[in-house]
């Protein structure tokens, strides 16, 4: 059953920023785009590189190693060399607290 885990304050995550948090044993990259916080696994499906070290470009995060990109809302791979999606997690912001749903 999913559980909602508090991982930080919305005010601590600037627009266009990426921040790594731990929740339910998962290393998760929080990405803030267009005022919304998204949560994805902090790992590129191409070579297991850390996505948090890449750049958030619009609604996509770019892996710093080989330039693969992923849609932060859906996890879909949008640029080669990655072809597999990255896992996403539901996010809720309640009273300024960011909560991520994990299994």
pLDDT tens for each residue of 73-89 = 999 999 999 999 999 99
Instruction: Kindly report the pTM of this predicted structure.
Output: 0.94
CATH number for the domain that contains residue 93: 2.102.10.10
Tokens of 27: 């290393």
pLDDT tens for each residue of 30-76 = 999 999 999 999 999 999 899 999 999 999 999 999 999 999 999 99
Q: How many domains are there within the chain?
A: 1
Query: What b/e readout covers 64-86, taking b as 16+ CB neighbours within 10 angstroms?
Result: ebeebbbbbeebebeeeebeebb
Q: Which domain covers residue 29, as residue numbers?
A: 3-102
């Amino acid at each position: 059953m999913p559980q909602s885990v508090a991982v930080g304050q919305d005010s601590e995550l600037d627009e266009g920023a990426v921040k790594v948090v731990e929740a339910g044993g998962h290393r998760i990259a929080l990405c803030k785009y267009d005022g919304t916080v998204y949560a994805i696994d902090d790992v590129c499906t191409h070579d297991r590189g850390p996505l948090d070290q890449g750049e958030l470009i619009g609604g996509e995060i770019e892996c710093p190693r080989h330039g693969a990109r992923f849609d932060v809302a859906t996890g879909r791979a949008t640029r080669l060399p990655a072809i597999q999606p990255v896992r996403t997690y539901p996010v809720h912001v309640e009273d300024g607290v960011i909560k991520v749903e994990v299994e």
